[in-house]
């Protein structure tokens, strides 16, 4: 997932994306620790949204060339995921993660076949995002219950 580190001397937030994301490291100026946290949450939300949106559109495209018995189910999953993503783009990181966790079944339903050239991307990028969202929601829900 997205890793953030602080360079307090230069007042920078350094963001590193997963290798398979093929996104460059970012160095962003910050004014405070709270600003760094807010910026990290914003970039993490954007990364999750962008990655899952592209995944869903790619799977929609792939499904059009494989009109098997599960076509209607897969297109329904595409519609539900696109609807969820569009309606949660501006929300909080926790809100988007909660929706990703709730729609995990749809994400898994669109998984490419193991022999597909997209299988490795699914295993190394998509599933880790879903797992990270699950962990984040669990951790944040536990924190909120105790406060």
Helix (H, G, I), strand (E, B) or coil at 27: strand
* pLDDT per residue as tens digits for the range 48-102: 999 999 999 999 998 888 777 788 899 999 999 999 999 998 999 999 999 999 9
The helix or strand, by DSSP H or E, that contains position 51, with its residue range, turns out to be helix 33-63
Q: Are 45 and 34 in contact (CB under 8 A)?
A: no
* pLDDT per residue as tens digits for the range 104-131: 999 999 999 999 999 999 999 999 999 9
- Residue 82 domain boundaries: 44-146
Domain tally for the chain?
1
Structure tokens at 115: 């022999």
User: How far, CA to CA in Å, does 128 sit from each of 12, 65, 91, 131, 136?
Assistant: 26, 27, 21, 5, 12
In a domain? residue 32: no
In a domain? residue 96: yes
Q: How far is CA 54 from the centre of its chain?
A: 10
pTM of the full structure? 0.89
In a domain? residue 8: no
């Amino acid at each position: 997932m997205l890793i953030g580190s602080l360079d307090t001397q230069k007042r920078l937030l350094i963001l590193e994306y997963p290798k398979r994301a093929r996104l460059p490291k970012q160095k962003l100026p910050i004014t405070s620790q709270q600003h760094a946290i807010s910026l990290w949450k914003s970039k993490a939300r954007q990364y999750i949204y962008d990655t899952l949106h592209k995944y869903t559109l790619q799977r929609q495209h792939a499904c059009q060339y494989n009109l098997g018995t599960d076509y209607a189910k897969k297109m329904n999953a595409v519609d539900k995921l696109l609807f969820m993503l569009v309606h949660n783009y501006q929300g909080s990181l926790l809100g988007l993660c909660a929706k990703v966790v709730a729609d995990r079944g749809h994400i898994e339903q669109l998984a490419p076949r193991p022999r597909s050239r997209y299988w490795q991307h699914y295993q190394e990028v998509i599933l880790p995002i879903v797992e990270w969202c699950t962990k984040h929601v669990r951790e944040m829900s536990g924190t909120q219950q105790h406060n």
